[in-house]
Amino acid sequence: MNLALLSFGLIALAAATGLLARYLARIPLPLLQVAVGAGLAVSGLEGFQVALEPELFMLLFVPSLLFADGWRLPKREAFQLRSQILLHAFILVLVNVILIGYLLHWLRPDIPLWAAFALGSVLSPTDAVAVAAISQRVKIPRTLQHILQGEALLNDASGLVALKFSLLASIGAFTIGGAALNVLLVSVAGAGIGVVLAYVYGRLRTVLSAADGSTTMPLVLLLVLLPFGAYYLAESLHLSGILAAVGAGVMMSYADPKHDDNAALRLQAGNFFDLFSYALNGLIFLLLGLQVPRVLEAGVRTAHGHGHSGLHLLMLIVVVTLAILAIRLIWGWGEAKLARFGKEGMGLQQGKPMPGMRVLLAHTVAGIRGAVTLAAAISLPLQMGGGMPFPARDELILIAGGVIILTLVIAAVCLPVLLRGMPEDDEKAVEQERAEAAMKASHAAITAIASEPGLENRASDGRNNVVKVVTEQYQQRINAEQQEMASDADPEHDHHMTTQARLIGLRAEREELHRLHTAGEINDETLLELMKPLDLAEESLR
């Protein structure tokens, strides 16, 4: 019963903090939820004293979020930026592990180098969830956003693999050649499991949808279980469960049947994952906040046992955080130099150089640490081989927790300032691409209607020619898109005005339907049937 009440309470808090964040626009939702969680833990309220189990946490929260992010990741742009994303996700992780490890060992010689490398591994992954939450309030340049998304999807796996090798180094079972081969095997095979399962799901969906149109709900349930199944299967085979979930999500864009008319499945699956991701995001940061007092108390107690003060731990947190930001800044500067030789820079249109230090700093502070970092830190073993306790384990967990909170605060404060007044993305090109795609789709619809043998070009019962009416509707769309493309007006302003006009029309339709229903001219069934397409159209406009 306590677990059930805790779950309901956290879900209610996730909803409440989401509403509260609308009135506290300057505070990012993740930071607000961490603060609320910490406040509940300090308050001593019964039922909110929860110990985070890393393996359970990873299984329940991480796969579905990474699956959804991989599904929504713009594949074309990610492929264009593959060099930067892969370098961030693997080489930058390795640089962080080595430099942070040596820095911590230099500051605290009593912490073995392999344990310091373990902390470097824990602190390497950036958090896609936190970046996405902050980017809802701050307009990040599109290219930079794509790099951050792709990097965060992959470096969770590389950071956890690096942690595994750091722990192997403690017993002398680590070799560079074996590590490189193991990383390749764990990463590729783990992602492959996710790809295969997503492909199988796509084929199953095609067969079942063609055989029986009533399979929508079972297929949605199978889709929900897909990331968990991929993660669990990969972890059972000692492969990367995180990359399995990411691989499944990325593959969904290609496994989605091209000729599937099951629109209900697409709508329901999309709506469910939106709600599911929102709830999980809130639960993650609330749980992180609930861990803060426990981690703080254990870390300070261990530090006192080693003759160090709480101020000493605070100094370590600040120094390690600044070191992580400095590494990221230098990395971005070096990447910017290379970008000037013909590749696109972060946050700019393709082929143009970096605008200066502000984009570099924005890229730096956007490297937020989050849920995976804390889960990995708490997963550090209590004992090593031979029954020896893990050195300074509680202190390392406290440092990791402090870095998470500090990077969140720095991003929340600095990103709005750094990105204010930045050059806008080329919305004209984006709008033109959309318009051209819409016209091609309309032309394809006209061709398909004209070539369909079952549709006869004749009037029936005195009605207008059905084919002609529908074809003219598509032609009107084409003409509207052509006029919009030929216009020199601001596409963003035109799009806004068009959206407002359509919303006004939809509201008028809805009001008229309600009037007819109130007057008794249509029944409830007719009202719901006519309201649904209006709601879908309004949702798509928003």
Residue 376 belongs to domain with CATH number: 1.20.1530.20
Mean pLDDT of 212-232: 81
In the structure, what pLDDT confidence band is assigned to residue 99 with cuts at 50, 70 and 90? very high
On whether both 481 and 392 belong to a single domain, the answer is: no
On whether both 387 and 469 belong to a single domain, the answer is: no
On whether both 415 and 484 belong to a single domain, the answer is: no
Axis crossing angle, helix 371-378 with helix 113-122, rounded to the nearest 10: 150
Tokens of 232: 């669990």
Given a cut of 50, whether residue 350 has pLDDT beyond it is no
Last residue of a domain, one of 425, 444, 472: 425
Rounded Cα gap, residues 411 and 524, in angstroms: 50
- Residue 460 belongs to domain spanning: 426-488
Residues in the chain: 542
On whether both 244 and 318 belong to a single domain, the answer is: yes
pTM of the model: 0.75
Rounded Cα gap, residues 211 and 219, in angstroms: 13
Give me the pLDDT at residue 427, please.
60
DSSP 308: -
Torsion (CA) 22, 23, 29, 31 in degrees, nearest 10: 180
On whether both 332 and 446 belong to a single domain, the answer is: no
Mean pLDDT of 369-374: 81
Given a cut of 50, whether residue 376 has pLDDT beyond it is yes
Mean pLDDT of 356-379: 82
Average pLDDT, the chain: 77
On whether both 184 and 72 belong to a single domain, the answer is: yes
Give me the pLDDT at residue 351, please.
44
pLDDT > 70 in the chain, percent: 71
In the structure, what pLDDT confidence band is assigned to residue 459 with cuts at 50, 70 and 90? very low
Residue 389: strand pairing partners:
383
On whether both 233 and 354 belong to a single domain, the answer is: yes
On whether both 483 and 509 belong to a single domain, the answer is: no
Handedness of CA 275, 278, 280, 286 (dihedral sign): negative
Identity of the residue numbered 271: N
Q: Of the ranges 5-19, 255-269, 279-293, which one carries the lowest mean pLDDT score?
A: 255-269
Residues 466-486 have pLDDT tens digits of 667 667 766 776 777 676 666
Exposure letters 417-440 (e unless 16+ CB within 10 A, then b): ebbeebeebeeeeebeeebeeebe
Q: Of the ranges 52-56, 197-201, 409-413, which one carries the lowest mean pLDDT score?
A: 52-56
In the structure, what pLDDT confidence band is assigned to residue 143 with cuts at 50, 70 and 90? confident
Last residue of a domain, one of 401, 425, 449: 425
> How far, in Å, are 170, 337, 435, 445, 486 from residue 480 at the CA level?
67, 43, 9, 16, 10
In the structure, what pLDDT confidence band is assigned to residue 193 with cuts at 50, 70 and 90? very high
Give me the pLDDT at residue 463, please.
44
The answer to whether residues 300 and 397 touch, using CB atoms and an 8 Å cutoff, is no
Among residues 150, 147, 247, the alpha carbon closest in space to that of 189 is found at: 247
In the structure, what pLDDT confidence band is assigned to residue 385 with cuts at 50, 70 and 90? low
On whether both 364 and 463 belong to a single domain, the answer is: no
Mean pLDDT of 382-404: 82
Q: Of the ranges 3-17, 19-33, 168-182, which one carries the lowest mean pLDDT score?
A: 168-182
Tokens of 358: 């502000």
Identity of the residue numbered 163: L
Mean pLDDT of 141-167: 80
On whether both 355 and 461 belong to a single domain, the answer is: no
Given a cut of 60, whether residue 207 has pLDDT beyond it is yes
Q: Of the ranges 222-226, 465-469, 492-496, which one carries the lowest mean pLDDT score?
A: 492-496
Three-state secondary structure readout of 131-158: HHHHHCCCCCCHHHHHHHHHHHHHHHHH
The answer to whether residues 314 and 402 touch, using CB atoms and an 8 Å cutoff, is yes
Q: How many CB atoms lie within 10 A of CB 145?
A: 20
The answer to whether residues 411 and 405 touch, using CB atoms and an 8 Å cutoff, is no
Handedness of CA 235, 239, 243, 244 (dihedral sign): negative
The answer to whether residues 117 and 166 touch, using CB atoms and an 8 Å cutoff, is yes
Give the highest mean pLDDT range of 117-121, 210-214, 442-446: 117-121
On whether both 469 and 540 belong to a single domain, the answer is: no
Rounded Cα gap, residues 384 and 391, in angstroms: 9
Give me the pLDDT at residue 428, please.
65
Q: How many CB atoms lie within 10 A of CB 465?
A: 15
345 or 182, higher pLDDT = 182
On whether both 391 and 436 belong to a single domain, the answer is: no
Residues 442-452 have pLDDT tens digits of 677 667 766 76
Residues 164-190 have pLDDT tens digits of 777 776 655 555 555 566 667 777 888
pLDDT > 90 in the chain, percent: 9
Given a cut of 90, whether residue 154 has pLDDT beyond it is no
The answer to whether residues 48 and 40 touch, using CB atoms and an 8 Å cutoff, is yes
Give the highest mean pLDDT range of 153-157, 215-219, 428-432: 153-157
Cβ neighbours for 294, distance < 8 A, ≥ 6 positions apart: 41, 51
Among residues 98, 135, 142, the alpha carbon closest in space to that of 346 is found at: 142
User: How many independent structural domains does the chain possess?
Assistant: 3
Among residues 25, 36, 29, the alpha carbon closest in space to that of 134 is found at: 29
Among residues 119, 124, 81, 140, the alpha carbon closest in space to that of 368 is found at: 124
Cβ neighbours for 116, distance < 8 A, ≥ 6 positions apart: 100, 101, 102, 103, 104, 105, 108
Torsion (CA) 481, 483, 488, 489 in degrees, nearest 10: -70
The answer to whether residues 62 and 372 touch, using CB atoms and an 8 Å cutoff, is yes
**DSSP run (H or E) holding 535:** helix 524-541
Mean pLDDT of 313-328: 93
DSSP 172: T
Rounded Cα gap, residues 437 and 273, in angstroms: 26
Last residue of a domain, one of 399, 425, 451: 425
Give the highest mean pLDDT range of 48-57, 133-142, 356-365, 401-410: 401-410
